[in-house]
C-alpha cells in the first residue's frame, strides 16, 4: 500500500526526532562523535626554582595533565613534565610559606602562564623588611614627626647595602638614630645607632628598625 505524501512527511519528522534523541544519549554516555582536536595534546615543560639569598620552602607548580589538575613540588634541579598544551599553570604561594611581616621569600617574576614546550626557572629573593620612623621626643614620651627620612623603608634583598638620611623640620633638631624601640637604647640587631644624621651605609642581614629621634629646637 502506497503512503500518502503527508504521511511520509510526518514519518520523516519522527525519524529525525528519534535520531537526535539517540545522538544526545550517546553523547551523554561518552560515545558521541568527538572531533579530533577534543583529544588532549601534551607538551613537555622543564621547570625548577632558585633562591637568591638563603634556602627557602619549596614552591608548588600547578598544572593540568589529561584534563586533570596536577601539582609538583619544585626543586632546584630541572624536571621535565608533560602538560596539556594550552592549559593554564601557576606557581604558588608568593611569598613562600615561612614568610612573615619582617622576612620573606618573594618572586617578582610572572608566576602564571599558558603551557608550551619551554624551560622556566622561577627565581625567588630572600628579603628583609626595613622599618623607618621619625619620632619627636617629648617629656611624656614619643610622637610621630620632627623630620623627613630617606628611604621610607620597605623590602630589601638580603645583603643589600642601604644608606639612610634624616633631615629635621623647621623648629626641630635631630638627636640620634636608634635601631630598635625608642627608650631602649642601641640594640645589636644590625643597622645604625648613633648621632650622625647621615651615617655610612650598612648591609641588610636581618629585619631592621631605624627610629630617627628629633626634639623641639628650643629645648637645650
Q: How high is the pLDDT of residue 186?
A: 79
Res 143: pLDDT: 96
Q: Residue 175 above 90 pLDDT?
A: yes
User: What is the model's pLDDT at position 56?
Assistant: 78
- Report whether pLDDT(2) > 70: no
Per-residue model confidence as pLDDT tens digits over 197-208: 999 899 999 999
Residue ranges per domain, the chain? 39-125, 128-216
Q: What is the pTM of this model?
A: 0.76
Q: Give the model's confidence band at 122: pLDDT under 50 very low, under 70 low, under 90 confident, else very high.
A: very high
Confidence of residue 220 (pLDDT cuts 50, 70, 90): low
pLDDT of residue 43: 97
Of residues 111 and 36, more confidence is placed in 111
For residue 196, the model assigns a pLDDT of: 96
Mean pLDDT, residues 21-29: 41
154: pLDDT strictly greater than 60: yes
CATH code of the domain occupying 39-125 = 2.60.40
pLDDT at 179 over 80: yes
Summarize the confidence of residues 62-87 as an average pLDDT. Answer: 96
- Please, which pLDDT band fits residue 185 given cuts at 50, 70 and 90? confident
Of 17-21, 98-102, 114-118, the range with the lowest mean pLDDT is: 17-21
In this predicted structure, the answer to whether residue 32 has a pLDDT above a threshold of 60 is: no
The per-residue pLDDT for 15 is: 36
pLDDT digits (tens, 9 = 90+) for 207-217: 999 999 999 98
- According to the 3-state scheme, what is the secondary structure of the chain? CCCCHHHHHHHHHHHHHHHHHHHHHHHHCCCCCCCHHHCCCEEEEEEEEEEECCCCCCCEEEEEECCEEEEEECCCCCEEEEEECCCEEEEECCCCCCCCCCEEEECCCCCEEECCCEEEEEEEEEEEEEEEEEEEEECCEEEECCEEEECCEEEEECCCEECCEEEECCCEEEEEEECCCCCCCCCCCCCCCECCCCCCCEECCCCEEEEEEEEECCCC
Q: Which three cell numbers stand for residue 135?
A: 619620632
Amino acid at each position: 500500500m502506497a503512503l500518502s505524501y503527508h504521511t511520509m512527511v510526518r514519518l520523516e519528522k519522527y525519524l529525525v526526532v528519534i535520531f537526535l534523541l539517540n545522538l544526545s544519549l550517546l553523547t551523554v554516555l561518552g560515545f558521541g562523535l568527538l572531533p579530533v582536536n577534543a583529544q588532549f595534546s601534551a607538551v613537555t615543560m622543564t621547570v625548577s626554582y632558585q633562591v637568591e639569598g638563603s634556602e627557602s620552602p619549596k614552591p608548588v607548580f600547578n598544572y593540568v595533565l589529561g584534563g586533570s589538575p596536577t601539582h609538583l613540588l619544585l626543586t632546584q634541579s630541572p624536571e621535565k613534565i608533560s602538560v596539556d598544551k594550552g592549559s593554564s599553570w601557576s606557581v604558588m604561594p608568593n611569598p613562600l610559606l615561612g614568610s612573615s611581616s619582617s622576612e620573606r621569600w618573594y618572586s617578582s617574576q610572572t608566576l602564571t602562564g599558558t603551557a608550551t614546550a619551554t624551560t622556566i626557572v622561577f627565581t625567588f629573593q630572600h628579603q628583609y623588611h626595613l622599618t623607618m620612623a621619625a619620632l619627636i621626643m617629648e617629656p611624656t614620651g614619643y610622637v610621630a614627626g620632627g623630620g623627613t627620612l630617606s628611604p621610607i623603608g620597605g623590602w630589601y634583598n638580603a645583603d643589600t647595602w642601604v644608606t639612610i638620611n634624616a633631615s629635621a623640620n623647621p623648629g626641630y633638631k635631630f638627636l640620634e638614630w636608634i635601631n630598635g624601640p625608642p627608650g631602649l637604647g642601641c640594640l645589636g640587631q644590625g643597622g645604625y645607632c648613633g648621632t650622625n644624621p647621615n651615617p655610612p651605609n650598612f648591609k641588610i642581614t636581618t629585619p631592621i628598625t631605624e627610629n630617627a629621634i628629633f626634639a623641639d629646637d628650643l629645648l637645650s
